Amino acid sequence: HEGNIYVKKGYAEKYPCVVAHMDTVHDIESNLSIVEFDGALTGFNRHTMTQIGIGGDDKVGVFICLEVLKHTDNIKVVFFRDEEAGCIGSNLADKAFFEDCYYVLEFDRRGNADFVIDANGVQLSTKAFQQAILPYVHKYGYSYSLGGGTDVQALKIIGIKCSMANMSCGYYNPHLDNEYVIIEDVMNTLNLALELIENITESYDFE
């Protein structure tokens, strides 16, 4: 649908939903090698012998969504196109797909500590949702924050009712040649997502 990929696994009355975007600002490099230093991943161009971006924004989000899909019995997942070009895919999202979702979690934020509840002035979730998940947010070292534009903001604007959030997921220096990914931070985000999905099974809708 409009270049987005929609996945539903299992059969339930309602589902948690996780999303990420498939595009990156970096060029596709045939000479790209991934190099690890003490748990950090970065990109290296074998031809020019220089550091280059690895697309952690938002390959990390795609990885986390795939892991959630693998480890969760009843789940919905969306991979959006062209977020970097202005959230094109999410602005054209199939709204009916989200009608039976408890909430939407996105993994498209640099760092390791931001749990974004407001994106460019757009409120993403209810106070009740924030209160319900707060123990898990704190357990994994996150705190509520403001963030920039991304797909969950677009979903809210087009009228999808469920509470949403965007989460730091372990990539750093997005859009730059010295972008890198901290594996420990990625796994921490994944574990937070899995614990939320296991324990938060109520809807917190608003328009």
Which pLDDT score, from 0 to 100, does residue 31 have? 86
| pLDDT, tens digit (0-9, with 9 covering 90-100), for 45-68 | 988 999 999 999 999 999 999 999
Residue type, 88: I
3-state SS of 46-101? CCCCEEECCCHHHHHHHHHHHHHHHHCCCEEEEEECCCCCCCHHHHCCCHHHHCCE
- Please determine, for residue 100, whether its predicted confidence score (pLDDT) is greater than 80: yes
| pLDDT, tens digit (0-9, with 9 covering 90-100), for 112-146 | 999 999 999 999 999 999 999 999 999 999 999 99
Average pLDDT over residues 17-37: 92
Residue type, 128: A
Average pLDDT over residues 94-120: 97
- Please determine, for residue 77, whether its predicted confidence score (pLDDT) is greater than 90: yes
Which pLDDT score, from 0 to 100, does residue 202 have? 93
Evaluate if pTM is beyond 0.85: yes
CA distance 198 to 119: 25
